[in-house]
Amino acid sequence: MTRGPVLSTVNTMADVWDAYRHELDGVEDRVNRNLDSSVALVNTVAAQILSGGGKRLRPLLLLLSARLCGYAAQEHHQLGSVVEFIHTATLLHDDVVDEADLRRGKRTARKVWGNQISILVGDYLYTQAMCRVIEFRSQEINEVLSEACKKMAEGEVLQLYYNGNPGLPEVDYIKIVEHKTAGLIAAACRMGAILAEASEAQQEALFRFGQYLGIAFQVADDTLDYTANGASLGKTIGQDLRQGKATLPLLHLLQQCSEQDRRMIKDRMETRTLSAEDLERILFLMNEYGSTAYAMDRAGTYIAAAKRELDLFEESPARRALTVTADYMITRDR
């Protein structure tokens, strides 16, 4: 049985990473071993983004959910690698759709190898993940993961449908986020509970925990696009607006600002043009009308809802780590 950290030692996200580093190293080992394509370029492209500085949050949440429910074995290493492969596949595809040049401060795979290679390697990672998950011979895990993949695809399509449209209703924005980002995070939490043979009530609670967490994560990330330091964020500030994406801070601003400013913002979204002066004006207005504060307050509401789902479980290092991780979702700077 793997011994967990002492409850009193898990107070910050750095403590969580330290406490579970050995177990996450097991996931990392599986990630590297599963990059076993006979086509060397597939492994090279996949390794480039897999080693690009990602935090492995989804495998961590899977691990913590399993430990919370009393799981003591090591199969989460392989399942964590499956989740990370799927997440990485979405990043490769997203960068093509968004025509992104940078990810985490480095050139994207599409900029190095082109769109076609990026899409095909993303497809490979999806396929490899499904090949590996079959090894668990668990219908429950298969259903949870396949449903998450379906939702992610639907979320991408819905986001593209509304791209350049400033009339996106806030409820549909949340739906996009719930499908595109929260789906895989919720699935990771539920699969951890499934590994532990947890009760249906516990599985549902952890699924909702992950869902709320994922929504808060994306809302905070969308807000960072207007508030973070560009160098630390690894992309250009205001990039979402340049790509025609209406995220929560902008949706709030469009409801609050003057008609003249509203027309300016709508024009920039529709034409995908944004000067430095335009961006400066929009950032000023967001501060003036409290739009970024509004978005972060909404994210905080989802984090509070996520933490309430943990009330079903007894106090433990894993529960404490999940609580700390939840807070980290909206306090991180990238």
pTM of the full structure:
0.94
The H helix count followed by the E strand count for the chain is: 18, 2
Residue 1 has pLDDT above 50, yes or no: no
Residue 245 has pLDDT above 60, yes or no: yes
**Per the structure block, which two tokens stand in for 139?**
């219908």
- Mean pLDDT value across the chain: 92
Question: Which amino acid belongs to residue 20?
Answer: Y
The answer to whether residues 181 and 215 touch, using CB atoms and an 8 Å cutoff, is: yes
Distance, C-alpha 239 to centroid of its chain:
17
**Percentage of the chain with pLDDT > 70?**
95
Count of CB atoms situated within 10 Å of the CB of 252: 20
Residues 104-112: contacts with CB under 8 Å, at least 24 apart: 104/52, 104/53, 104/54, 104/234, 104/334, 105/53, 105/231, 105/234, 105/235, 106/52, 106/53, 106/234, 109/45, 109/48, 109/49, 112/45, 112/48
The answer to whether residues 126 and 75 touch, using CB atoms and an 8 Å cutoff, is: no
For 212, residues 6+ apart whose C-beta sits below 8 A from its C-beta are: 182, 302, 303, 305, 306, 309
Give the pLDDT confidence score for residue 237 in this predicted structure.
83
- Rounded distance between C-alpha atoms, residue 83 and residue 96, angstroms: 21
Give the pLDDT confidence score for residue 272 in this predicted structure.
86
Give the pLDDT confidence score for residue 234 in this predicted structure.
52
224 pLDDT band (50/70/90 cuts)? very high
The answer to whether residues 91 and 180 touch, using CB atoms and an 8 Å cutoff, is: no
Strand-pairing partners, residue 107, are 102
Give the pLDDT confidence score for residue 100 in this predicted structure.
87
Give residue-wise pLDDT tens across range 161-200.
Answer: 999 888 899 999 999 999 999 999 999 999 999 999 999 9
Of 39-48, 52-61, 167-176, 304-313, the poorest mean pLDDT is in: 52-61
Would you list the domain boundaries of the chain? 7-328
Of 35-44, 59-68, 325-334, the poorest mean pLDDT is in: 325-334
Residue 182 is given by DSSP the state I
Give the pLDDT confidence score for residue 229 in this predicted structure.
64
Instruction: Give 7-328's CATH code, choosing from 1.10.460.10, 1.10.600.10, 1.10.10.2840, 3.40.50.300.
Output: 1.10.600.10
Residue 144 has pLDDT above 80, yes or no: yes
Give the pLDDT confidence score for residue 148 in this predicted structure.
97
- Rounded distance between C-alpha atoms, residue 126 and residue 89, angstroms: 6
Give the pLDDT confidence score for residue 70 in this predicted structure.
96
Q: Which tops the pLDDT comparison, 283 or 333?
A: 283
Give residue-wise pLDDT tens across range 297-328.
Answer: 999 999 999 999 999 999 999 999 999 999 99
